[in-house]
Structure 1
Amino acid sequence: MIQTGKVDLRSDSAIETAGGNTSTFTRVTFPSPFPAGAEVIVLPLTQTFNGPETPGIRVHDVTERGFLIRLNEVNVNANVKSDGKHTTETIGWLATTT
């Protein structure tokens, strides 16, 4: 079973520094739930290029019903620090089972 979709995301808050803090993530619900007990894999990919900095995508809490996703800028190198904020981008996703 394969499902696809897209979501428009932006990041108005700073980069997350504490593991497990998902308060700034967005919940995506699959159009149809996967079978109970299925191991679901989510592959996200940026579809647009609206901001000049590189957007980072984080996925968390993947279940048979959906997942959490967050957009933030990535740190390029030690000399260029990101504030984590990023303009709206369209993120496409593909979900499948193993």
Structure 2
Amino acid sequence: MIQSGKLTLDSSHSTETTGGKTDTFKRVDFPTPFPPGSDIIVQVTVQTFNGPETPGVRLHEVSNTGFKIRFNEIYGGGVTADGKHTSETVGWTAYTI
């Protein structure tokens, strides 16, 4: 089973550095839940270039019904990122293995 979609994502919060802290993540529900017990892979790609800093994508709690996602701006290249990022279009594909 393969499902895909896209969403508009931004980050108005500082970079999250505490593992498991997901209150700044956005929930994405699959159009159709995968069968219970499935091993699910989610791949994401930022499809626009609206902000100058690179938006790193974090995923959490991938389950048969959906996943959580957020941006964490990536530090590097002499750029100091604050974690906040403007709206970008993010495409996703989920499938079972």
Q: TM-score, normalised by structure 2?
A: 0.96
Output the CA distance in 2 between the equivalents of 1:22 and 1:80: 25
Residue 66 of structure 1 and its aligned partner are, at CA, apart by 0.2
For residue 12 of structure 2, what is the amino acid of its counterpart?
Answer: D
Q: TM-score, normalised by structure 1?
A: 0.95
Instruction: Report the equivalent of 2:79.
Output: 80
1:2 equivalent to 2:2? Answer yes
Instruction: Report the equivalent of 2:91.
Output: 92
Output the CA distance in 2 between the equivalents of 1:74 and 1:91: 16
Q: How does 1:55-74 map to 2 (within 5 A)?
A: 55-74=55-74
Instruction: Report the equivalent of 2:19.
Output: 19
For residue 89 of structure 2, what is the amino acid of its counterpart?
Answer: T
Which runs of no fewer than 5 residues in structure 2 stay unpaired?
Answer: none
Which runs of no fewer than 5 residues in structure 1 stay unpaired?
Answer: none
Q: CA RMSD in A?
A: 0.9
Equivalences, count? 97
User: Aligned residues: percent identity?
Assistant: 57
Output the CA distance in 2 between the equivalents of 1:16 and 1:72: 7
Output the CA distance in 2 between the equivalents of 1:35 and 1:41: 13
For residue 68 of structure 1, what is the amino acid of its counterpart?
Answer: K
CA contact (8 A) 1:10 1:72 kept: no
After superposing on structure 2, the runs of 4+ consecutive aligned residues of structure 1 that deviate more than 2 Å are none
Q: Deviations over 1:5-59 (max 9, x none)?
A: 0110100010001111000000000000001100010000001110111111001
